[in-house]
């Protein structure tokens, strides 16, 4: 059984027992989160596709980690003008451990 969920403006395919990193969600490590934006639920040959969401379906996950991703460096330069800028960015993330899919 798997589901397609939407969170943080992105879509993810998840199954029970999976671990995935999503955009930062509110909550502490160990708390349970319910994701209700379920776009598709598939259980063998039984596939439910939402329009746009599957009614009553939700994914229960546990927050495994809150953190920052590796630093991404952005360097800008204009030739012959002496313009050089180096910026760094670390995106916040939440690691989720999928516990169950409720269809």
Please state the domain extents for the chain. Answer: 2-102
pLDDT in tens, 21-74: 999 999 999 999 999 999 999 999 999 999 999 999 999 999 999 999 999 999
pLDDT(103) > 90: no
CA distance 13 to 39: 10
Give percent above pLDDT 70 in the chain: 100
Q: How far apart are CA 27 and CA 63, in angstroms?
A: 8
In the chain, pLDDT over 90 holds for what percent of residues? 99
């Amino acid at each position: 059984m798997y589901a397609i969920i939407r969170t943080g403006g992105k879509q993810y395919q998840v199954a029970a027992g999976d671990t995935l990193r999503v955009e930062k969600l509110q909550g502490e490590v160990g708390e349970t989160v319910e994701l209700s934006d379920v776009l598709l639920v598939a259980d063998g040959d039984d596939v439910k596709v939402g329009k746009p969401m599957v009614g009553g379906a939700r994914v229960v996950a546990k927050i495994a980690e809150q953190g920052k991703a590796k630093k991404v460096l952005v360097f800008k330069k204009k030739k012959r003008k002496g313009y050089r800028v180096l910026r760094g960015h670390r995106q916040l993330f939440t690691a989720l451990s999928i516990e169950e899919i409720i269809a």
